[in-house]
Amino acid sequence: NPEGSSTLEQKEPAHQQLKEKDKYHLLRHMKIHTGKTESSKQKTHKTAHPDQKQYSCNICDEAFSQSSSLTTHLRTHTDKKLFTCSTCEKSFKRKSNLRDHMKIHTGEKAFSCETCGKSFKTKSSLLHHMKIHIGEKPFSCQTCGKSFKTKSSLLQHMKIHTGEKPFSCETCGKSFKTKSSLLRHMKIHTGEKPFSCDTCGKSFITKSNLLEHMKIHTGEKIFSCETCGKSFITKSNLLEHMKIHTGEKIFSCETCGKSFITKSNLLQHMKIHTGEKAFSCVTCGKNVITKSSLLRHIKIHTGEKPFSCETCGKSFKTKYELRCHMMSHTGEKPVTCSTCGKRFRFKSELLHPQVPKHNNSGCLFATLAVEMKMVHSGKQSCIKL
C-alpha cells in the first residue's frame, strides 16, 4: 500500500533520515549507551582512571595509564630531542612542546583571560596567570612557609635552602639554580642583547631588564618607601634603599672589615685594595675605579654642569656638589662634634686640623684627637660625607 508505506516513512526515527555518513556516526555513538561493543577510544578512556595505571617507569617508578604516555615520559630521562623547529632549529622532547614553541614565531595567543583580557600562547600559561586574580598559592615551602602558585616555583625556591646550583657555565664555571638563569648569564659571554629600547636605542639581555629601563623614560616609580616616602623604579631598588633605615650591612670586606649595604658596593670597594682601575678617559687617559667616577671625570672636559640650584641658579657637575651648596641657603649643619657639640656643614670641617673656628672654640681635646687620628691614618685631606 503506497499510502501505508508513506505513513511508515513518516514514523521513522529522525536519525534514520540523516545522511549515510552522519547515520554511521550516530549508530556508532549509540553503542556506547547499549554496551554492545567497546571501541578503542573507550578502552583508552577507561585506562585513564587512577586504579588502571599499569605502565610503570623502570627509572623513577612513576606509573601511567597508557603505553604512549610512558614512552613520552621516558624521554625526560634521556637527552634525545626528536622534534625540531623548522624556523630556528630548536629541538624538543615532546611534540606538544614544539607546537607551543611555534607560537613564538607565529605570535598566536589563543587563550585569553576573562578577567583582564590578557592573552597567552598556551592554556597552562593562562591557568597559571588566573591564580594572580584569585590569589591562589597552593604550594608551600615546609622550611620557611612561603607559598607559591606553581610547583615549579616552589621547587626553584627550595634551592635557596639547599644551596643547590646544578647548572654551570662552561665558559667561566659559575653555577646557577635554574636553567633559565644560566641561559641568561650565557648572553654576557656571547654579547647578545636582543631587546632594544625604542626611545634611546639601548639594548638589554632580557625583556625584564628592558621593561625596567623603560621606566626611566616614563618616570614611573611605583615602589615607595613607607619610612621616608621616597619612590623607586624597581622593587630591588626599594629593598636596597630600606637597608639605609635598618642599618643592615651584610657584605663585609675580608681585607679591612668594612661593611656595605649591597654586594655591588663591596665589589666596588675591593678595587681600592687591588688597585684595579678598569675605566679610562678617552680624552686624557686617566684611569679610575668605577664607571660613575669616569662619568664624573668626563664632565671636567665637557664642562657639563647638569645640576642647578633652584634658589640662585648656580650649576654644578655632581649632585653631591649641589647638595653641599644648598646648605649655604638652608643653613643646615648636619655634622656634630661629639666632644663639644659644635655643628658643621661637612665632616671635613670637623676633621680638618686647620679650621680656625673649631680650633678657637676651646675644644682642644677634639682637635688633638683628630690630628692624632690623621697622623696614624696617613690622611691629610678633607673627608667627604
Q: What is the mean pLDDT of residues 276-284?
A: 87
Q: Is 281 within 8 Å of 298 (Cβ atoms)?
A: yes
CA dihedral 119, 123, 128, 133 (to 10 degrees): 50
Looking at residue 374, its pLDDT comes to 40
Whether 372 shows a pLDDT value over 60: the answer reads: no
Backbone angles phi, psi at 322, to 5 degrees: -65, -45
- Nine cell digits for residue 325: 651648596
Whether 293 shows a pLDDT value over 70: the answer reads: yes
Whether 281 shows a pLDDT value over 70: the answer reads: yes
Helix (H, G, I), strand (E, B) or coil at 120: strand
Looking at residue 102, its pLDDT comes to 81
Most confident of 2-6, 64-68, 96-100, 173-177: 173-177
Q: What is the mean pLDDT of residues 200-206?
A: 87
pLDDT in tens, 130-153: 877 887 888 888 888 888 888 888
Q: Enumerate residues 6+ apart whose C-beta is below 8 A from 345.
A: 324, 327, 332, 333, 334, 335
DSSP class of residue 307?
E
Range of lowest pLDDT (149-153, 291-295, 320-324, 357-361): 357-361
Amino acid at 179: K
Q: Is 186 within 8 Å of 175 (Cβ atoms)?
A: no
DSSP class of residue 41?
H
Q: Which residues pair with 350 in a beta bridge?
A: none
- Nine cell digits for residue 176: 646557577
Kindly indicate the confidence band of residue 36, based on its pLDDT and cuts at 50, 70 and 90. Answer: low
Q: What is the mean pLDDT of residues 282-295?
A: 87
Kindly indicate the confidence band of residue 220, based on its pLDDT and cuts at 50, 70 and 90. Answer: confident
Report the mean per-residue pLDDT for the chain: 76
DSSP class of residue 126?
H
CA 383 to chain CA centroid, nearest Å: 37
pLDDT in tens, 116-127: 888 887 888 888
Looking at residue 367, its pLDDT comes to 41
Helix (H, G, I), strand (E, B) or coil at 230: coil
Looking at residue 284, its pLDDT comes to 92
Whether 14 shows a pLDDT value over 60: the answer reads: no
The pTM of this model reads: 0.35
Amino acid at 259: S
Looking at residue 361, its pLDDT comes to 43
Q: Which residues pair with 288 in a beta bridge?
A: 279
Q: Is 119 within 8 Å of 129 (Cβ atoms)?
A: no
Looking at residue 16, its pLDDT comes to 47
pLDDT in tens, 153-164: 888 888 888 888
Burial class (CB in 10 A: 0-12, 13-18, 19+), 186: middle
Looking at residue 320, its pLDDT comes to 81
Provide the terminal-to-terminal Cα distance of the chain, rounded to the nearest Å: 115
Q: What is the mean pLDDT of residues 272-277?
A: 86
Q: What is the mean pLDDT of residues 12-41?
A: 58
Instruction: Provide the CB-side half-sphere exposure for 306 (13 A, CA).
Output: 7
Kindly indicate the confidence band of residue 381, based on its pLDDT and cuts at 50, 70 and 90. Answer: very low
How many percent of the chain have pLDDT more than 70? 78
Gap between the Cα atoms of 277 and 272, Å rounded:
9
Range of lowest pLDDT (101-115, 165-179, 305-319): 101-115
Gap between the Cα atoms of 35 and 33, Å rounded:
6
pLDDT in tens, 42-71: 555 555 555 567 788 887 778 888 888 887
Which has more confidence, 372 or 229? Answer: 229
Which has more confidence, 180 or 254? Answer: 254
Looking at residue 312, its pLDDT comes to 93
Backbone angles phi, psi at 167, to 5 degrees: -105, 115
Q: What length is written for the chain?
A: 385
Q: Enumerate residues 6+ apart whose C-beta is below 8 A from 102.
A: 85, 87
Q: What is the mean pLDDT of residues 175-194?
A: 85
Domains of the chain: 83-134 (3.30.160.60), 255-332 (3.30.160.60), 346-379 (no CATH)
Looking at residue 9, its pLDDT comes to 46
